[in-house]
A and B are shown apart, each in its own frame.
Chain A
Amino acid sequence: MRDDPAVIALVARVREGDQKAWDEVVERYSPLVWSICVRYRLSRQDADDVGQSVWLLLVEQIGSLREPAALPGWLATTTRHECLRVLRTAKRNDAAGLPPEDQFPADPSAVMIEDEVIAAERDAALRAAFAELPGGCHQLLSMLVSDPPCSYAAISSTLAMPVGSIGPMRARCLERLRRSPRLTGVLGGPVSGGPAKDTEGSTR
């Protein structure tokens, strides 16, 4: 895990009482907290309970966090503990007599937590880099990743761009994204399918 300077700067601002920096921390890492709640199959109400506890604990402890860069890992571990607390309370009666560990054979464990942290870091960096792209690229890439996907014809008419220009612009925009300083050191690990050698865009 790299020490993301953006995270270190954010934590420093939060410690000074900067609400905007806090909002950004929550915005950036809510998907991490949420995805772990989803892994534990919590109900919406339990997930809200966990979220509240995690963010309140962070408010309490952010001043004493020894390694600001370790914030994502701290959040993931705290979320996991809170999920287990909620599940333990809920299941106390279902499996009376069993020791708590035996009630969670499907506990996704530390490996899952590490995976979620790595994915969350990469996702947050990608969203930050994406947010900084120029408007045209932002719009085009949004349409390209939309679900369901937009046809080139639809993109052409929405962006008032000839269909033949979409391919080259897509390559240019992705190259800008790839070169974003936000992604320095982030894209090393494989995503689903793994990294592959770029054959067309890297010489531009």
Chain B
Amino acid sequence: MSTVADSWNDEALLAALQHALAARQAVPAEFVEAGQSTFAWHNIDAELAQLTYDSVRDAEPVAATRAEPASIRALTFTSAHLTIELEVTPDSLVGQIVPVQAATIEVQARAGDPVPVAADEIGCFLIHPIPRGPFRLHCRLADGADVLTNWITL
């Protein structure tokens, strides 16, 4: 029996195996686990909101010339239909969803039960205290739409 595999001698095959195993070992375990845990969302029709602005990362040149205190960090998450603005105060997170509307928001840490937070009729919500470690926000809107942010680490 002759196959294409015949053209690989022992040394080439061993080197290829070494490469394959090393490529897997190079991937951090948490990177794989985080990917596996996303399947929890398979039957939830959630829209992904991505970080599109972080005042620490993307400080606008204009902001530097203003006399505002630089201590308030602002983050913006954007999905196709919704924007979530977050401000980091010393002890809590102040948020607003745009377009403004009432919503139920869950603060989800990698471990532990999600913590529900209500957004009022103008979309404002308060998260206190600031979650320690990575978390994300799952917003359920009154019209039934679901929006999920990327993981956030503050």
Q: Cβ of A92 and Cβ of B23 under 8 Å apart?
A: no
Say yes or no: is A135 at the interface (Cβ < 8 Å to chain B): no
When the two chains form the complex, which single residue of A17, A44, A145, A199 contacts B17, counting CB atoms closer than 8 Å?
Answer: A145
* A residues less than 8 Å from B51 (CB atoms): 49, 89
Q: Cβ of A53 and Cβ of B50 under 8 Å apart?
A: yes
How many contacts A-B (CB < 8 Å)? 168
**CB within 8 Å for A192 and B15 given contacts A22-B42, A171-B10:** yes
Q: In residues 70-106 of chain B, which contact A (Cβ within 8 Å)?
A: none
* B residues less than 8 Å from A157 (CB atoms): none
Please tell me the number of chain B residues within 8 Å of chain A, measured between CB atoms: 52
Chain A at the B interface: SS class: helix
When the two chains form the complex, which single residue of A19, A33, A54, A127 contacts B20, counting CB atoms closer than 8 Å?
Answer: A127
**CB within 8 Å for A130 and B17 given contacts A52-B151, A196-B11:** yes
Please tell me the number of chain A residues within 8 Å of chain B, measured between CB atoms: 70
* A residues less than 8 Å from B14 (CB atoms): 141, 144-145, 174
Q: In residues 31-74 of chain B, which contact A (Cβ within 8 Å)?
A: 31-32, 34-36, 38-39, 41-43, 46, 48, 50-54, 57-61
Say yes or no: is A48 at the interface (Cβ < 8 Å to chain B): yes
- The smallest beta-carbon distance between A192 and chain B, in angstroms, is 7
Residue of A nearest to B4 (CB): A188
Q: Cβ of B58 and Cβ of A92 under 8 Å apart?
A: yes
When the two chains form the complex, which single residue of B10, B23, B61 contacts A198, counting CB atoms closer than 8 Å?
Answer: B10
**CB within 8 Å for A196 and B50 given contacts A122-B20, A130-B17:** no
Say yes or no: is B142 at the interface (Cβ < 8 Å to chain A): no
* B residues less than 8 Å from A170 (CB atoms): 10
* A residues less than 8 Å from B6 (CB atoms): 178, 198, 202
Q: Cβ of A30 and Cβ of B43 under 8 Å apart?
A: no
- The smallest beta-carbon distance between B53 and chain A, in angstroms, is 8
When the two chains form the complex, which single residue of B9, B22, B36, B60 contacts A23, counting CB atoms closer than 8 Å?
Answer: B36
Contact residues of A with B, CB < 8 Å? 14, 17, 19, 22-23, 26-27, 30-31, 33-35, 38, 44-45, 47-49, 51-57, 59-60, 62, 85, 89-90, 92-93, 96, 119-120, 122-124, 126-127, 130, 141-142, 144-145, 147, 170-171, 174, 177-179, 183-185, 187-188, 191-202
26 A-B pairs in the complex with CB atoms less than 8 angstroms apart = A14-B42, A22-B36, A23-B39, A26-B35, A30-B24, A31-B26, A51-B31, A52-B34, A53-B48, A53-B50, A56-B150, A90-B57, A92-B58, A93-B60, A96-B61, A126-B16, A127-B21, A130-B20, A142-B21, A145-B14, A145-B21, A177-B17, A184-B3, A187-B16, A193-B12, A198-B9
